[in-house]
Structure 1
Amino acid sequence: MSKSKVLAATIVSALIGLFFLFCLGWAIIDHYGKRTSDMETIEESPIKNDLPDDFTVVALGDSLTRGTGDETGKGYVGLVVEELESEYNKKPLIHNLGINGQVSKELAQQVKQPEVKRQIQAADVILVTIGGNDLFQKGQTLLDYDSEATSDLRRNYLENLHGIFKDINNVNGTATILLLGLYNPFIELDEDFDTNRIVRDWNNETAEVVALYKNAIFVPTFDIFQLSVNEYLYSDKFHPNQKGYRLIADRVAPLIKWEDEDR
């Protein structure tokens, strides 16, 4: 083979080698470059703002907590949760532990139950309706009014209320507790005696108990029902209807602050 042919073959081989090395290098860069880019995307992608943070609402109490009288089944608790979702664009967790007909003595026992204590411990907000069944007893207390008997009912109720708040604070000392006051569904009985005074006195002493506990708020409802009570009552003339629950929810929801550093 002549020298010129050998030289040509050497040059061709060298070019092929260089082209191979170039292709290999490009493939390596392309492969690892994509892996790095993908990893950077994963590491730098922020959590979407519309994803729910942990925020738990626990609702305790009687038939008002259950929403009896609201044909949609939401009650004030469901409406409050809806308002929170609308305001914060996030869905809170809700545990509704209300029991129809529950009185304060029964609630005092309920908050001692291990599973209930676990849910209270995880709560950011605790909503409570209690006392209506203690006082009204399906209307009999006011129909057969006895001031001494009513005083006994109130004294037992306030003692139970102290126990309820102490047990809640022992389990969770940071959650906001919102206790709803009573409205008077029996205003029409005022021709015989002052039912408004009885309910107001009950609410005033309840508010004094609530004021003794940190992070606790008494939420009045008496005034929003007083002037047009029948417009906001269900057909049983005792529980709120959907309009009544809406009034309660509109008062409760603004008191709940969803702490969110991103807002």
Structure 2
Amino acid sequence: MSFLNKHVIRLITFFSVLLCFLWLFGLGWTINKYYAAKPTKLGPVQKASQKEDGKKTMNIVALGDSLTKGMGDDTGKGYVGDILDQIKKRTHKQVSLLNLGINGQTSDQLRIQVQQPEVLRQMENADMILITIGGNDLFRGGEGLVDYKSENISAIENKYLDNLRNIFTQIRKGNATANVFFVGIYNPFINLRTGKETSKVVRQWNYDTAEVCADFPKIVFVPTFDLFELKVNDYLYSDKFHPNSKGYHLIAERVAALLTW
């Protein structure tokens, strides 16, 4: 009987370890595919819609990564599409949206993208610019989960902040009046064993980002960390990384609260 008990315990231990490795593998695959995947090339940019019936058109340009694309939202709108709907309902303006978000995009790549002639032209004509960037810089396909204590984080953040200053400078060169809303990052791993440590890194990252935003006129940092802090799993997609439709709606409401109607 004792032998059988030991045998059963060994089997349970073996399968527990196996399931743990499978979960870690699945998490890494998900992050690599959806959040840190190789960005797709920027396709032809559609021209913003022209004025119709004499009404002023409000032009919105969205830049950034998979959060700008709306990855994880079953409705396909993401926070950008949600904001668009709210603006249409609450104003009499026609609204033109150009979403230039690219899955997996980093601040290095966005810095290059905003220098493209057609992107520059679209930003010059924008009344509002929405940006999400930095999550891929920080988490790096899941690598940020294990080296959050590394001194490399400081170097990575400094490079990101330098890119951010360059991006904002490029935007303001061609457009001094558009309201720019920069959406901060949240911690999707807050419920993991290292959640407190990674949250500390994310909060510092957001603080430093907000400081850079404050150096430029009419660039507003929009915090999202607190929206996901207490019930993160309620607002995440099945990949446990991107927001679901509820999560995106929370972000959209936060941005919409800052708009002047």
TM-score range (shorter-chain normalised) is 0.7 to 0.9
1:162 aligns with 2:165: yes
Q: Which residue of 2 aligns with 1:225?
A: 228
1:180-239 CA deviation, whole Å, 9 max, x = no partner?
111000112344751110000000000000000001100000000000001000011110
1:22-66 CA deviation, whole Å, 9 max, x = no partner?
xxxxxxxxxxxxxxxxxxxxxxxxxxxx97422101000000000
Q: How far apart are the structure 2 equivalents of 1:116 and 1:190?
A: 42
Equivalent AA in structure 1 for residue 163 of structure 2: N
Q: Which residue of 2 aligns with 1:256?
A: 259
Q: Classify the secondary structure of the residue corresponding to 2:257.
A: helix
Q: How far apart are the structure 2 equivalents of 1:246 and 1:51?
A: 32
Q: Classify the secondary structure of the residue corresponding to 1:218.
A: strand
1:72 aligns with 2:75: yes
Shift of 1:253: 1.5
- CA, structure 1 residues 183+52, in 2 after alignment: closer, same or farther (shift >3 Å)? farther
TM-score calculated relative to the size of structure 2: 0.77
Q: Which structure is higher in helix share?
A: 1
Say if 2:148 and 2:197, in contact at 8 Å, map to a contact too: no
- Let me know the Cα RMSD of the aligned residues: 1.5
Aligned equivalent of 1:180, options 173, 180, 183:
183
Equivalent AA in structure 1 for residue 181 of structure 2: L
Q: Which residue of 2 aligns with 1:127?
A: 130
Q: Which residue of 1 aligns with 2:15?
A: none
Say if 1:125 and 1:256, in contact at 8 Å, map to a contact too: no
Q: How far apart are the structure 1 equivalents of 2:107 and 2:258?
A: 24
1:91 aligns with 2:94: yes
- CA, structure 1 residues 116+149, in 2 after alignment: closer, same or farther (shift >3 Å)? same
Equivalent AA in structure 2 for residue 67 of structure 1: G
Q: Which residue of 1 aligns with 2:12?
A: none
Equivalent AA in structure 2 for residue 222 of structure 1: F
Identity %: 55
Structure 2, unaligned runs of 5 or more: 1-52
Q: How many residues align?
A: 209
Shift of 1:138: 2.2
Q: How far apart are the structure 1 equivalents of 2:142 and 2:194?
A: 15
Equivalent AA in structure 2 for residue 78 of structure 1: G
Say if 1:189 and 1:195, in contact at 8 Å, map to a contact too: no
Q: Classify the secondary structure of the residue corresponding to 1:170.
A: helix
**Could you say which structure has the larger radius of gyration?**
1
1:60 aligns with 2:63: yes
Q: How far apart are the structure 2 equivalents of 1:192 and 1:119?
A: 39
Q: Which residue of 1 aligns with 2:114?
A: 111
Q: Which residue of 2 aligns with 1:5?
A: none
Q: Which residue of 2 aligns with 1:212?
A: 215
Shift of 1:152: 1.1
Equivalent AA in structure 2 for residue 187 of structure 1: I
Say if 2:57 and 2:94, in contact at 8 Å, map to a contact too: no
